[in-house]
Amino acid sequence: MKRAQLIDRRSLLCKAAGAVGVGILPVGVGAAGGPVAVKGRIRQSIAYWAFNVAGDKWNLAQTCQIARQLGCRSVELVKGKEHEIVREHGLTCALSQIDLDPDPPFVRGWNHPEHWPRLIRVTKQAVDEAAHYGSPNVICFTGYRAKDPGNPTSVEWSAEEGADNCVAGFKQVAGYAEKKHVNLCLEILNTRDNTHPMKGHPGYQGDNTDYCINIVKRVESPCMKLLFDVYHVQIMDGDIIRRIHEHKDYIGHIHVAGCPGRGELDDRQEINFKPIMEALVNVGYQGYVGHEYIPTREPLQGLIEAVSLCDV
């Protein structure tokens, strides 16, 4: 990255802090006099949770301020009244979260029919919130293979059973989402990394592109989409650019993080993000790209570099 492209961290944080106090911040205006995301062909988003769990632990208002400073258009994976904070800052929530607290939303998913009543309720609630606040997507998950997650001796759903259950479950909410003009985005999660609870998910059933895209297609709804997480797909499948071209009509949202380790998009990881972003432009992708990596160093500088890298 050229020196002229970098934004002074101190100036940016001072501007963000001042803007929080007065409630005003020019969209995309960086400390160096211009936005980081200049071209805007890739609509970029910040996954709130990822910058709230490590390092400086940004709160939601601060995350929104920094998003605006960097020219990002969204802060995502919020729920309930959190949407109001995002909207107050002139941003979109590109991907709304479902409210399954205290359980992680990816454990007891749509492959578990016994959990359908709860999933239908919280998913419709999230769809309503998304429609009200202008969020285009709601996240969803297959769930873990184990019928009793956390029990090491639990019987597991077969791949066929799990897929059939997901299709049948999603069909119960897809029509509702269609009426609200909101997409349901099924996320691929890797099962290989067992070093950290958010770097990999051993036991998750939808751990590869082919499995998840089969479910998405079988639901037969224009609102059923794939959440293509480049980090997870790289670990399980690879061949990122070819898969983007193959599944371009079904991709509803993109997540990015460095691999291995789910860290910054820097030269210490193996994914070449610039041609991936160019592939998204080439296939006419109109959705958002969400930065969902876990910072391993000063979070603002890493995010500045990531946003600039993805601005092709």
pLDDT over 90 (residue 12): no
* Mean pLDDT calculated for residue range 153-182: 97
DSSP line for 84-137: HHHHHTT-B-SSBPP--TTS-TTTS-TT-GGGHHHHHHHHHHHHHHHHHHT--E
Model confidence pLDDT, tens digit, residues 255-280: 999 999 999 999 999 999 999 999 99
Catalytic residue among 76, 82, 129, 292: 292
Cβ atoms within 10 A of the Cβ of 81, count? 8
Among 41-45, 97-101, 141-145, whose mean pLDDT is lowest?
A: 97-101
Q: What is the pLDDT of residue 83?
A: 98
Which of helix, strand or coil describes residue 112?
coil
Cβ–Cβ < 8 Å for 303, 267? no
Our answer to whether residue 178 is catalytic in this structure is no
Model confidence pLDDT, tens digit, residues 37-88: 999 999 999 999 999 987 779 999 999 999 999 999 999 999 999 999 999 9
Model confidence pLDDT, tens digit, residues 178-217: 999 999 999 999 999 999 999 999 999 999 999 999 999 9
Which of helix, strand or coil describes residue 146?
strand
CATH code, 3-310: 3.20.20.150
C-alpha 132/C-alpha 115 separation (Å) is: 26
Residues 6+ apart with CB under 8 A from 5: 36, 308
For the chain, give every domain's residue range.
3-310
Our answer to whether residue 82 is catalytic in this structure is no
Mean pLDDT of the residues in the chain: 91
Dihedral, 44, 129, 164, 226 alpha carbons, nearest 10: -10
Q: What is the pLDDT of residue 34?
A: 62
- Give the residue from 36, 133, 32 showing the smallest Cα distance to 80: 133
Catalytic residue among 82, 129, 187, 305: 187
Which of helix, strand or coil describes residue 111?
coil
* Mean pLDDT calculated for residue range 136-160: 95
Q: What is the pLDDT of residue 206?
A: 98
Query: What's this model's pTM, rounded to 2 decimal places?
Result: 0.90
